[in-house]
Amino acid sequence: MKFPIPLLPGDTVAMITPAGKIERQIAEHGAELLRNQGFRVKIGSHAFDQDGIFGGSDLSRSSDMQLALDDHSIKAIFFTRGGYGSIRTHTYLNWSSFFKKPKWLVGFSDITVFHAYLTNHQIASVHGVMSAWFEQEGQLTGSFLKMMDVLRGKKPDYHVMPHQLNRNGNATGILTGGNLSIIQSLRGTNLDLLPRGKILFIEDIDEHHYHIDRMIQNLKSGGILERLSGLIVGYFTNITDGEIPFGKTSYEIIKEAVDSYGYPVIFGLEAGHELPNYPLILGSKISMSVSDDQASFQNI
Protein backbone atom coordinates (compact mmCIF):
# COMPACT_ATOMS: atom_id res chain seq x y z
CA MET A 1 0.00 0.00 0.00
CA LYS A 2 1.29 3.46 -0.92
CA PHE A 3 0.80 6.35 1.49
CA PRO A 4 1.04 9.93 0.25
CA ILE A 5 3.54 12.02 2.18
CA PRO A 6 2.25 13.99 5.21
CA LEU A 7 1.33 17.62 4.66
CA LEU A 8 3.75 20.32 5.76
CA PRO A 9 3.26 24.06 6.39
CA GLY A 10 3.34 25.94 3.11
CA ASP A 11 2.18 22.97 1.03
CA THR A 12 -0.25 23.62 -1.79
CA VAL A 13 -3.60 21.83 -1.73
CA ALA A 14 -6.51 21.87 -4.15
CA MET A 15 -10.21 22.27 -3.53
CA ILE A 16 -12.51 20.96 -6.26
CA THR A 17 -16.14 20.01 -6.79
CA PRO A 18 -16.46 16.55 -8.42
CA ALA A 19 -20.14 15.86 -7.78
CA GLY A 20 -23.01 18.01 -6.44
CA LYS A 21 -23.00 21.80 -6.72
CA ILE A 22 -21.74 23.83 -3.77
CA GLU A 23 -22.56 27.32 -2.51
CA ARG A 24 -19.58 29.56 -3.25
CA GLN A 25 -19.60 31.04 0.26
CA ILE A 26 -19.30 27.62 1.94
CA ALA A 27 -16.40 26.44 -0.21
CA GLU A 28 -14.53 29.76 -0.11
CA HIS A 29 -14.81 29.81 3.67
CA GLY A 30 -13.50 26.24 3.76
CA ALA A 31 -10.55 27.32 1.62
CA GLU A 32 -9.83 30.17 4.02
CA LEU A 33 -9.82 27.75 6.96
CA LEU A 34 -7.28 25.59 5.11
CA ARG A 35 -5.14 28.68 4.55
CA ASN A 36 -5.35 29.36 8.27
CA GLN A 37 -3.84 25.90 8.77
CA GLY A 38 -0.79 27.01 6.82
CA PHE A 39 -1.62 25.74 3.33
CA ARG A 40 -1.77 27.42 -0.04
CA VAL A 41 -5.10 26.64 -1.70
CA LYS A 42 -5.88 26.34 -5.40
CA ILE A 43 -9.64 26.34 -6.04
CA GLY A 44 -10.75 24.60 -9.21
CA SER A 45 -11.76 26.89 -12.08
CA HIS A 46 -15.17 25.22 -12.23
CA ALA A 47 -15.67 24.65 -8.49
CA PHE A 48 -18.70 26.94 -8.39
CA ASP A 49 -20.30 25.97 -11.71
CA GLN A 50 -23.84 24.62 -11.77
CA ASP A 51 -25.46 22.20 -14.18
CA GLY A 52 -28.70 20.83 -12.75
CA ILE A 53 -27.75 19.06 -9.53
CA PHE A 54 -24.09 18.93 -10.53
CA GLY A 55 -21.22 21.31 -9.87
CA GLY A 56 -20.82 21.94 -13.58
CA SER A 57 -20.73 19.59 -16.55
CA ASP A 58 -19.01 16.21 -16.39
CA LEU A 59 -16.21 17.60 -18.54
CA SER A 60 -15.65 20.71 -16.43
CA ARG A 61 -15.67 18.76 -13.16
CA SER A 62 -13.29 16.14 -14.50
CA SER A 63 -11.06 18.84 -16.00
CA ASP A 64 -10.58 20.42 -12.57
CA MET A 65 -9.84 17.06 -11.01
CA GLN A 66 -7.47 16.00 -13.78
CA LEU A 67 -5.45 19.18 -13.36
CA ALA A 68 -5.25 18.59 -9.60
CA LEU A 69 -4.23 14.95 -10.08
CA ASP A 70 -1.50 15.87 -12.56
CA ASP A 71 -0.06 18.90 -10.74
CA HIS A 72 2.76 17.52 -8.58
CA SER A 73 2.97 20.80 -6.63
CA ILE A 74 -0.44 19.92 -5.14
CA LYS A 75 -0.04 17.66 -2.09
CA ALA A 76 -3.71 16.97 -1.31
CA ILE A 77 -7.11 17.31 -2.96
CA PHE A 78 -9.99 18.39 -0.74
CA PHE A 79 -13.47 17.88 -2.18
CA THR A 80 -15.99 20.64 -1.46
CA ARG A 81 -18.92 18.24 -1.04
CA GLY A 82 -20.44 14.94 -2.11
CA GLY A 83 -24.02 14.72 -3.36
CA TYR A 84 -23.97 12.76 -6.61
CA GLY A 85 -21.73 12.77 -9.65
CA SER A 86 -18.32 11.35 -8.69
CA ILE A 87 -18.88 8.21 -10.76
CA ARG A 88 -19.53 10.38 -13.84
CA THR A 89 -16.39 12.42 -13.13
CA HIS A 90 -14.35 9.26 -12.61
CA THR A 91 -15.06 7.95 -16.11
CA TYR A 92 -13.08 10.83 -17.67
CA LEU A 93 -9.99 10.64 -15.46
CA ASN A 94 -6.49 9.45 -16.30
CA TRP A 95 -4.63 8.50 -13.13
CA SER A 96 -1.24 7.63 -14.66
CA SER A 97 0.52 10.82 -13.49
CA PHE A 98 -1.07 10.56 -10.04
CA PHE A 99 0.20 6.98 -9.62
CA LYS A 100 3.79 8.20 -10.05
CA LYS A 101 3.41 10.59 -7.10
CA PRO A 102 0.22 9.95 -5.08
CA LYS A 103 -1.33 12.69 -2.99
CA TRP A 104 -4.05 12.66 -0.35
CA LEU A 105 -7.65 12.66 -1.53
CA VAL A 106 -10.01 13.80 1.22
CA GLY A 107 -13.80 13.51 1.52
CA PHE A 108 -16.70 11.16 2.22
CA SER A 109 -20.20 10.21 1.05
CA ASP A 110 -20.21 10.24 -2.79
CA ILE A 111 -16.41 10.53 -2.63
CA THR A 112 -16.52 6.81 -1.76
CA VAL A 113 -16.18 6.33 -5.54
CA PHE A 114 -12.60 7.64 -5.47
CA HIS A 115 -11.78 5.86 -2.22
CA ALA A 116 -12.87 2.58 -3.82
CA TYR A 117 -10.66 3.17 -6.85
CA LEU A 118 -7.62 4.07 -4.78
CA THR A 119 -7.98 1.15 -2.37
CA ASN A 120 -8.18 -1.23 -5.33
CA HIS A 121 -4.95 0.35 -6.61
CA GLN A 122 -3.12 0.07 -3.27
CA ILE A 123 -3.14 3.81 -2.44
CA ALA A 124 -4.39 5.24 0.86
CA SER A 125 -6.90 8.08 1.12
CA VAL A 126 -8.75 9.90 3.89
CA HIS A 127 -12.46 9.51 4.63
CA GLY A 128 -13.01 12.87 6.30
CA VAL A 129 -15.09 16.02 6.54
CA MET A 130 -15.63 18.44 3.67
CA SER A 131 -15.91 22.22 3.59
CA ALA A 132 -19.31 22.68 5.27
CA TRP A 133 -18.12 20.73 8.31
CA PHE A 134 -14.73 22.34 8.84
CA GLU A 135 -16.33 24.79 11.24
CA GLN A 136 -19.54 24.97 13.28
CA GLU A 137 -20.82 28.07 15.07
CA GLY A 138 -17.53 29.85 14.55
CA GLN A 139 -15.38 27.05 15.99
CA LEU A 140 -13.23 24.55 14.13
CA THR A 141 -14.79 21.12 14.55
CA GLY A 142 -12.95 18.34 16.34
CA SER A 143 -13.45 16.29 13.18
CA PHE A 144 -11.58 18.87 11.10
CA LEU A 145 -8.75 19.15 13.62
CA LYS A 146 -8.34 15.37 13.87
CA MET A 147 -8.34 15.18 10.08
CA MET A 148 -5.57 17.78 9.95
CA ASP A 149 -3.58 15.67 12.44
CA VAL A 150 -3.97 12.60 10.22
CA LEU A 151 -2.92 14.49 7.11
CA ARG A 152 0.16 15.73 8.96
CA GLY A 153 1.15 12.16 9.76
CA LYS A 154 -0.53 11.23 13.04
CA LYS A 155 -2.01 7.74 13.15
CA PRO A 156 -5.61 7.65 14.45
CA ASP A 157 -6.51 5.43 17.39
CA TYR A 158 -10.21 4.90 18.11
CA HIS A 159 -12.05 3.71 21.16
CA VAL A 160 -15.76 3.20 20.55
CA MET A 161 -18.42 2.94 23.23
CA PRO A 162 -19.47 -0.71 23.70
CA HIS A 163 -22.66 -1.60 21.84
CA GLN A 164 -25.02 -4.48 22.60
CA LEU A 165 -24.91 -5.65 18.97
CA ASN A 166 -21.11 -5.82 18.78
CA ARG A 167 -19.45 -9.17 18.15
CA ASN A 168 -16.33 -9.88 20.16
CA GLY A 169 -13.03 -10.84 18.60
CA ASN A 170 -9.76 -9.60 17.18
CA ALA A 171 -8.77 -8.99 13.59
CA THR A 172 -6.28 -7.24 11.35
CA GLY A 173 -6.92 -6.14 7.81
CA ILE A 174 -7.00 -3.32 5.30
CA LEU A 175 -9.63 -0.70 6.13
CA THR A 176 -11.94 0.01 3.21
CA GLY A 177 -15.46 1.21 2.48
CA GLY A 178 -17.47 4.37 3.04
CA ASN A 179 -21.04 5.06 2.03
CA LEU A 180 -23.07 1.85 1.72
CA SER A 181 -25.25 3.12 -1.14
CA ILE A 182 -22.16 3.95 -3.19
CA ILE A 183 -20.45 0.65 -2.34
CA GLN A 184 -23.51 -1.27 -3.50
CA SER A 185 -23.83 0.86 -6.67
CA LEU A 186 -20.27 -0.09 -7.66
CA ARG A 187 -20.95 -3.83 -7.63
CA GLY A 188 -20.02 -5.40 -10.95
CA THR A 189 -17.67 -2.56 -11.92
CA ASN A 190 -13.89 -2.31 -11.69
CA LEU A 191 -14.48 -0.29 -8.50
CA ASP A 192 -16.18 -3.23 -6.79
CA LEU A 193 -15.07 -4.11 -3.26
CA LEU A 194 -12.37 -6.79 -3.05
CA PRO A 195 -13.23 -8.24 0.36
CA ARG A 196 -10.51 -10.72 1.21
CA GLY A 197 -8.27 -9.36 3.95
CA LYS A 198 -10.42 -6.26 4.34
CA ILE A 199 -12.14 -4.66 7.32
CA LEU A 200 -15.20 -2.91 5.92
CA PHE A 201 -16.51 0.41 7.21
CA ILE A 202 -20.06 1.42 6.21
CA GLU A 203 -22.38 4.36 6.85
CA ASP A 204 -25.43 5.87 5.13
CA ILE A 205 -28.10 8.57 5.19
CA ASP A 206 -31.65 9.28 3.97
CA GLU A 207 -32.65 5.73 3.06
CA HIS A 208 -35.57 3.49 3.98
CA HIS A 209 -34.89 0.48 6.19
CA TYR A 210 -35.79 -1.89 3.38
CA HIS A 211 -33.25 -0.12 1.15
CA ILE A 212 -30.58 -0.83 3.76
CA ASP A 213 -31.66 -4.47 3.85
CA ARG A 214 -31.61 -4.71 0.05
CA MET A 215 -28.08 -3.33 -0.14
CA ILE A 216 -26.78 -5.51 2.68
CA GLN A 217 -28.40 -8.57 1.12
CA ASN A 218 -26.66 -7.71 -2.15
CA LEU A 219 -23.30 -7.77 -0.36
CA LYS A 220 -24.26 -11.00 1.38
CA SER A 221 -25.51 -12.88 -1.67
CA GLY A 222 -22.53 -11.61 -3.69
CA GLY A 223 -20.11 -13.25 -1.24
CA ILE A 224 -18.69 -9.95 0.02
CA LEU A 225 -19.70 -10.16 3.68
CA GLU A 226 -18.52 -13.73 4.24
CA ARG A 227 -14.98 -12.97 3.05
CA LEU A 228 -14.35 -9.92 5.25
CA SER A 229 -11.95 -9.92 8.20
CA GLY A 230 -14.05 -7.48 10.21
CA LEU A 231 -16.86 -4.93 10.02
CA ILE A 232 -17.14 -1.40 11.48
CA VAL A 233 -20.51 0.36 11.31
CA GLY A 234 -20.80 4.13 11.53
CA TYR A 235 -23.81 6.43 11.50
CA PHE A 236 -26.98 5.42 9.72
CA THR A 237 -28.63 8.83 9.70
CA ASN A 238 -32.28 9.64 9.03
CA ILE A 239 -33.16 6.07 8.04
CA THR A 240 -36.95 5.80 7.89
CA ASP A 241 -39.67 3.25 7.23
CA GLY A 242 -41.68 3.10 4.07
CA GLU A 243 -45.46 2.90 4.14
CA ILE A 244 -45.20 -0.42 5.99
CA PRO A 245 -42.74 -0.58 8.94
CA PHE A 246 -39.79 -2.90 8.27
CA GLY A 247 -39.60 -4.06 11.88
CA LYS A 248 -35.84 -3.73 12.40
CA THR A 249 -33.38 -0.87 12.84
CA SER A 250 -30.48 -0.40 10.43
CA TYR A 251 -28.05 -1.88 12.95
CA GLU A 252 -30.33 -4.90 13.51
CA ILE A 253 -30.54 -5.43 9.74
CA ILE A 254 -26.76 -5.42 9.45
CA LYS A 255 -26.25 -7.67 12.47
CA GLU A 256 -28.69 -10.23 11.10
CA ALA A 257 -26.86 -10.29 7.75
CA VAL A 258 -23.50 -11.11 9.36
CA ASP A 259 -24.71 -13.37 12.17
CA SER A 260 -23.35 -16.53 10.58
CA TYR A 261 -19.79 -15.21 10.26
CA GLY A 262 -17.14 -15.22 12.95
CA TYR A 263 -15.26 -11.95 12.55
CA PRO A 264 -15.52 -9.04 15.02
CA VAL A 265 -18.10 -6.30 14.45
CA ILE A 266 -18.16 -2.77 15.89
CA PHE A 267 -21.34 -0.70 15.87
CA GLY A 268 -21.53 2.99 16.65
CA LEU A 269 -18.34 4.48 15.22
CA GLU A 270 -18.65 8.26 15.08
CA ALA A 271 -18.12 8.57 11.34
CA GLY A 272 -20.55 9.34 8.54
CA HIS A 273 -23.20 11.99 7.94
CA GLU A 274 -23.15 13.52 11.42
CA LEU A 275 -20.70 15.32 13.64
CA PRO A 276 -18.38 14.20 14.98
CA ASN A 277 -17.26 12.60 11.75
CA TYR A 278 -13.78 11.39 12.59
CA PRO A 279 -11.19 10.68 9.88
CA LEU A 280 -10.34 7.20 8.65
CA ILE A 281 -7.31 6.27 6.57
CA LEU A 282 -8.86 3.98 3.99
CA GLY A 283 -6.33 1.58 2.55
CA SER A 284 -4.38 1.43 5.82
CA LYS A 285 -3.81 -1.73 7.83
CA ILE A 286 -5.64 -1.70 11.14
CA SER A 287 -6.01 -3.92 14.17
CA MET A 288 -9.44 -4.14 15.79
CA SER A 289 -10.36 -5.58 19.16
CA VAL A 290 -13.86 -6.08 20.57
CA SER A 291 -14.85 -7.43 23.98
CA ASP A 292 -17.80 -7.00 26.32
CA ASP A 293 -16.41 -3.79 27.79
CA GLN A 294 -14.40 -2.23 24.95
CA ALA A 295 -14.20 -1.78 21.19
CA SER A 296 -11.19 -0.23 19.53
CA PHE A 297 -9.09 -0.15 16.40
CA GLN A 298 -5.81 1.47 15.47
CA ASN A 299 -3.47 1.77 12.53
CA ILE A 300 -0.52 -0.59 12.56
Tens-digit pLDDT profile for residues 98-140: 999 999 999 999 999 999 999 999 999 999 999 999 999 999 9
pLDDT of residue 242: 87
- Give the domain-ending residue among 132, 151, 170: 151
Burial class (CB in 10 A: 0-12, 13-18, 19+), 253: buried
Cα→Cα distances 289→5, 230, 271, 281, Å:
28, 10, 18, 18
Q: Give which of 113, 33, 35, 126 is closest to 77, Cα–Cα.
A: 126
Q: List pLDDT tens digits, range 242-256.
A: 889 999 999 999 999
* Buried/exposed code over 106-140 (b: 16+ C-beta within 10 A; e: otherwise): bbbbbbbbbbbbbbbeebbbbbbbbbebbbeeeee
Residues of the chain falling short of pLDDT 50? none
CATH code assigned at 29? 3.40.50.10740
- Report how far residue 163's alpha carbon sits from residue 294's, in angstroms, rounded to the nearest whole number: 9
Mean pLDDT of the chain: 97
- Report how far residue 153's alpha carbon sits from residue 166's, in angstroms, rounded to the nearest whole number: 30
The answer to whether residues 253 and 245 touch, using CB atoms and an 8 Å cutoff, is no
Is there a single domain that holds both residue 147 and residue 161? no
CATH code assigned at 264? 3.50.30.60
State which H helix or E strand residue 235 sits in. strand 230-237
Is there a single domain that holds both residue 132 and residue 184? no
- Domain with 32 in it: 12-151
Coil, helix or strand at residue 59: helix
User: Considering the domain boundaries, does residue 203 fall inside one?
Assistant: yes
User: Considering the domain boundaries, does residue 3 fall inside one?
Assistant: no
pLDDT of residue 269: 98
Is there a single domain that holds both residue 48 and residue 72? yes
Q: How many CA atoms lie within 13 A of 61 on its CB side?
A: 28
pLDDT of residue 122: 97
**157: β partners:** 298
Is there a single domain that holds both residue 247 and residue 205? yes
pLDDT of residue 47: 98
pLDDT of residue 285: 97
- Give the domain-ending residue among 105, 126, 151: 151
State which H helix or E strand residue 285 sits in. strand 285-291
Is there a single domain that holds both residue 278 and residue 295? yes
Is there a single domain that holds both residue 225 and residue 295? yes
Question: DSSP labels for 124-156?
Answer: -EEE---GGGSEETTEE-HHHHHHHHHHTTPPP
Work out how many domains the chain is built from and give that number: 2
User: Considering the domain boundaries, does residue 87 fall inside one?
Assistant: yes
Q: Give which of 148, 163, 142, 166 is closest to 34, Cα–Cα.
A: 148
User: Considering the domain boundaries, does residue 7 fall inside one?
Assistant: no
For the chain, give the number of residues. Answer: 300
- Report how far residue 201's alpha carbon sits from residue 198's, in angstroms, rounded to the nearest whole number: 9
Put simply, whether the predicted model's pTM sits higher than 0.85 gets the answer yes
Is there a single domain that holds both residue 247 and residue 285? yes
Is there a single domain that holds both residue 170 and residue 265? yes
Is there a single domain that holds both residue 266 and residue 134? no
User: Considering the domain boundaries, does residue 5 fall inside one?
Assistant: no
Span between the terminal Cα atoms of the chain, in Å? 13
- Give the domain-ending residue among 151, 183, 203: 151
